[in-house]
Amino acid sequence: MQSFFRTKKTEDDKQEIVEEALLANYDSYYRLAYAYVKNPEDAGDIVQEGAYQAIKKCRTLEKPEYVKTWLYRLMLNEVFSFCRKKQKTVSTEEVVTEPWTEDRYQDMDLWKALDALEDKDRTVILLRYFEEYKISEIADIMDEKVSTIKSRLYRGIKKMRIQMENDWIWEE
């Protein structure tokens, strides 16, 4: 009987840890989702669904000290799942364009170059430079080797540089 209460308490502890981490890092998850979908409502939906899934699956969190990594991986899965679903629906629906509004605080060339990258390369750059994660932390989040993350980072930066240089040359 005592082990039942100990197990129940640990599950409650895990849920509390997950909820605290979700609240503390909500803005980071939102920025990550927004970087992929470029729509505030969709980004909010992704984070909300990710939070729901995290709370629902909090029992599967093996090491509470890695809750941040676990949540990022879960959020990335939600982002990629959303993008796959969106790709399927966009091809069958009429595309509606929203009126363009100028954002003086964003470097559009940078975002265009980021969008041209493969998902995994883009994720590494977003986590490293926009969320300021260490390479080893990114490797944990993406469940890949540090050397793979370094390769993705340098390859992604190189591709972005080429993309931005080409855009600049054509604009002159």
- What does pTM read for this prediction? 0.69
Report whether 140 contacts 169 (CB < 8 A). Answer: no
What mean pLDDT is predicted for residues 72-84? 91
Q: What is the pLDDT of residue 46?
A: 94
Q: Is 142 helix (H, G, I), strand (E, B) or coil?
A: helix
The contacts of residue 46 (CB under 8 Å, 6+ apart) are 33, 37, 75, 78, 79, 82
Q: What is the pLDDT of residue 5?
A: 43
Q: What is the pLDDT of residue 92?
A: 42
Query: E strand or H helix at 25, and its extent?
Result: none
Joined together, the tokens standing for residue 111 give 């975002």
Residue type, 90: V
DSSP string, 85-122: HHHHHHHHS---PPPP---TTS-HHHHHHHHTS-HHHH
Residue type, 9: K
What mean pLDDT is predicted for residues 18-43? 93
The contacts of residue 59 (CB under 8 Å, 6+ apart) are 11, 14
Domains with residue ranges and CATH for the chain: 1-91 (1.10.1740.10), 106-172 (1.10.10.10)
pLDDT band at residue 87 under the 50/70/90 scheme:
confident
With 90 as the cut, is the pLDDT of residue 168 above it? no
d(CA 18, CA 51): 9
Report whether 43 contacts 33 (CB < 8 A). Answer: yes
d(CA 106, CA 91): 29
With 60 as the cut, is the pLDDT of residue 133 above it? yes
pLDDT band at residue 154 under the 50/70/90 scheme:
very high
pLDDT band at residue 107 under the 50/70/90 scheme:
low
